[in-house]
Amino acid sequence: MEKFFQRLKRERISSGMKQVQAAEFYDVSLDYLVGATDNREEYHAMDVAQLPKKIIQLRQQSGMSQSVIAKQINVTKSGYKYYEMGKSIPPLPRLIALADLFGVSLDYLVGFDEK
């Protein structure tokens, strides 16, 4: 386990990806890792390419603009656009804020769960 954390320190990985990698390492869901559920469900690997598509889909379904969502999750509009374009991955607090804003689980948002 020590090697896992040493690797995370060496690599320049966003904090959101660090949590995803920790969930992968421990074979648990992201919701379980952050304490959002007590259910240690079977882990499903995150497809990073799907995250922007999921965020766009949820934004369009909500009818909110990028500016409104950016304000709600406390990020600049350009920062939020980068999430939708797949140029950056939101850190865990922003992933949690997005899941709360859209009324979905963190696991659903990152593609671990299809419900």
115 falls within a domain: no
Q: How many domains does the chain have?
A: 1
114 falls within a domain: no
* 90 confidence band (pLDDT: 50, 70, 90): confident
Q: Is the pLDDT of residue 2 over 60?
A: no
pTM: 0.63
Query: Tens digits of per-residue pLDDT, 7-57?
Result: 545 554 556 667 777 777 777 776 677 666 666 665 455 566 788 999 999
Residue environment code for 3-36, b if the CB has 16+ CB neighbours within 10 A, otherwise e: eeeeeeeeeeeeebbbbbbbbeeeebbbbbbbee
The predicted model gives 86-115 an average pLDDT of 85
Listed in sequence order, the residues at least 6 apart from 20 whose beta carbon sits closer than 8 Å to its beta carbon are 30, 46, 110
79 falls within a domain: yes
Q: Taking the mean position of all CA atoms in its chain, how far away is CA 1?
A: 23
